[in-house]
Amino acid sequence: MPGAQSRAEAVWEGDLIHGHGTVAPASGAFPTLPITWAARTQRSAGKTSPEELIAAAQAGCYAMAFSNTLAKQGTPPTRLDVAAVCTFEVGEGGARISTMELDVRGVVPGMDQETFARTAQEAEKGCPVANALRGNVAIRVGAKLEGRRT
């Protein structure tokens, strides 16, 4: 059986610094989004960057991987909230993504903080997006167990 494929397209006009472009998913799950160098390096409002899209992919992928890990251990989560921060740097060696920081907060009945934090670290290794970044990007995971939400 062939693997699942995801597709997106980008259009760019002009040079790197003054140019602009768009990115769009083939699925139509979100609208065409504007991208610029300024949005990448200065966080311009209303525009996105490849790193923001990678952070979104990492947050979603990790939430699924962590949920699966918890369920396999017999402690499925009630809720997981994952924030991902992808850091883009320009230095002597050129431009690169240096770190991916994950902050997960979760409601998991019957679990203590220590087990939650340990399981959060284990689950990161089961995330395909993290595995694609691993070796090139430092990945850090912070985890906090929260009380029951109603």
Structure tokens at 86: 């992808």
Same domain for 73 and 95, yes or no, is yes
Same domain for 61 and 129, yes or no, is yes
Name the phi and psi angles at 73, rounded to 5: -85, 0
pLDDT at 18 over 90: yes
CATH (domain of 118): 3.30.300.20
The answer to whether position 56 is within a domain reads yes
pLDDT at 8 over 90: yes
Same domain for 17 and 69, yes or no, is no
Same domain for 93 and 65, yes or no, is yes
The answer to whether position 126 is within a domain reads yes
Query: How much is the average pLDDT of 131-142?
Result: 96
The answer to whether position 3 is within a domain reads no
Same domain for 35 and 105, yes or no, is no
**SS (HEC) of 23-56:** EEECCCCCCCEEECHHHHHCCCCCCECHHHHHHH
* pTM score of the predicted model: 0.91
Average pLDDT value for the chain? 93
Same domain for 37 and 55, yes or no, is no
Same domain for 23 and 93, yes or no, is no
Q: For the chain, how many structural domains are there in total?
A: 2
pLDDT in tens, 74-84: 999 999 999 99
In the prediction, which pLDDT does 2 show? 75
Q: Counting every residue, how long is the chain? A: 150
The answer to whether position 150 is within a domain reads no
Structure tokens at 124: 């990161």
pLDDT at 150 over 80: no
pLDDT at 48 over 50: yes
The answer to whether position 131 is within a domain reads yes
Structure tokens at 145: 């167990």
Same domain for 18 and 87, yes or no, is no
Same domain for 74 and 22, yes or no, is no
Same domain for 133 and 83, yes or no, is yes
Percentage of the chain surpassing pLDDT 90?
85
The answer to whether position 66 is within a domain reads yes
The answer to whether position 1 is within a domain reads no
pLDDT in tens, 56-115: 999 999 999 999 999 999 999 999 999 999 999 998 989 999 999 999 999 999 999 999
Query: How much is the average pLDDT of 130-144?
Result: 96
Range of the domain at 87: 50-145
